[in-house]
Chains A and B, each alone.
Chain A
């Protein structure tokens, strides 16, 4: 590449800027004077000017098919503008309108809160019942008798370890007597009639087996706000079953 004399380097970029009218009058005059006395810079400026003119003549003219293409873009743009304007309008409306209130949500929350209180009370009662002949279980809260149909979520398999009805140990004479075990809670539930088999009790695990839930339950769950609601309903279902069993035991 051609080496540029040091003095000319001071004017190099300004040769081009002068063509674009980007220099101050004083600087433009300096460049003009230098070019007049420097053949290299004079030639360079002429070459730059010619290149610039070629660029201008070649690129400024519109293309023959430009109008057609612009109309095509204009039509596409008009369609996009209409789409976006509609979307903006929908957004504006959704921002100004009050959020739609979901029917029944408050009722679920009230039921869930009541159910949790009742479940805590029942658990407390059961705990004491297992150790001492305490008072009878608390009567069921009225709300529990009017519980909605809760989703019947099958309990995990781990429930087999604590069946609802304890089995009698098999009498095996050869075996040593079993070691004394800590007192277990009094069996609360009578043997269930075969036509009313109770589902195994769910564990304390909060996990929900959605895969095995039936469609109706999942549909109900889809209407709940959060998964916690679903768990609460599950607990309410348990509470209702326990209450029912206890009522039957009391009457029987």
Chain B
């Protein structure tokens, strides 16, 4: 397994030329990363500003804890910073970034303390745990208008197995192709297709059951 912060390399990912490899040259983020590798620290700041929001949201979806998501966001960009000298533009920058973030999030979820938290929340054994991020609880009338609040959806999403959740969020929310998700999850496109479908089908069945 490639190290979390390893720069994108098609050999390490085992996916030939790498998803988005042909487009890597035109990827503005890749150009920024190359500028950073060349010694321009402003390029790193620009990358952070472009990607911090989506990354924070993605990490929150994954670990379901605001403080942990912030820590992981910092760690994700620290890995980018540390890997600057070894960076090779063989895939889209975002694919690499999501790979780092996904590995960090999955590692965080596998920590014993987190795993206990995750299991008990999935089994509905505790109502005290932060399934919904603090300060984001929508009002009741919003619930009626939108039929499903983001809080409910967060809860449904949180109940999915972590790899299904990652595959669905990366694909549907963050807009990564299956090939890019496969790199991030270190699996095959076929597996990603199955993960996304199962996640989506589970959510659809739950929504249907509540109506």
Chain A residues in contact with chain B, CB under 8 A?
12-13, 15-17, 19-20, 22, 44, 47-48, 50-52, 54-66, 69-70, 72-74, 76-77, 80-81, 84
Closest to A66 in B: B53
Supply 28 A–B pairs (Cβ within 8 Å), ascending by A.
A13-B193, A16-B200, A19-B200, A22-B193, A44-B204, A47-B204, A47-B205, A48-B201, A48-B204, A52-B200, A55-B173, A55-B200, A57-B146, A58-B148, A58-B149, A58-B153, A58-B154, A59-B157, A60-B173, A61-B150, A63-B136, A70-B52, A72-B70, A73-B73, A73-B74, A77-B74, A77-B77, A77-B78
Chain A residues, CB < 8 A from B197: 12-13, 15-17, 48
Report the nearest A residue to B197, measured CB to CB: A16
Q: Which of B7-15, B106-114, B119-127, B164-172 contacts A (4 or more CB under 8 A)?
A: B164-172
Question: Inside 8 A of B193's CB, which chain A residues have their CB?
Answer: 13, 16-17, 22
Q: Are B201 and A55 in contact (CB under 8 A)?
A: no
Name B's interface SS. helix
Interface SS of A by simple majority: helix
Q: How large is the interface on B (under 10, 10 to 19, 20 to 34, 35 or more residues)?
A: 35 or more
Question: Would you call A54 and B148 a contact (CB within 8 A)?
Answer: yes
| Whole-angstrom CA separation of A102 from B81 in the bound complex | 37
- Interface residue? B35 (CB, 8 A): no
Q: Across the interface, which residues of A come within 8 angstroms of B207, CB to CB? A: 47, 50-51, 54
The answer, yes or no, to whether B203 is at the interface (CB within 8 Å) is yes
**B57 in the interface (beta carbon within 8 A):** yes
Which of B146, B150, B204 has most chain A Cβ within 10 Å?
B204
Shortest Cβ distance from A90 into chain B, in angstroms? 15
* Residues in B neighbouring A72, C-beta threshold 8 A: 70
Q: How far is the CA of A17 from the CA of B179 in the complex (A)?
A: 12
Separation of A77 and B49 alpha carbons in the complex (Å): 12
Closest to B136 in A: A63
**Contact of A13 with B77 in the complex, beta carbons under 8 Å:** no
Chain B positions 122-156 with a Cβ under 8 Å from a chain A Cβ: 133, 135-136, 146, 148-150, 153-154
Residues of B within 8 A of A22 (CB): 177-178, 193
- Whether A56 and B57, one on each chain, are in contact in the complex, defined by CB atoms closer than 8 angstroms, is no
Residues B53 and A55 in contact, CB atoms below 8 Å apart: no
- Is B201 a contact partner of A16 (Cβ separation < 8 A)? yes
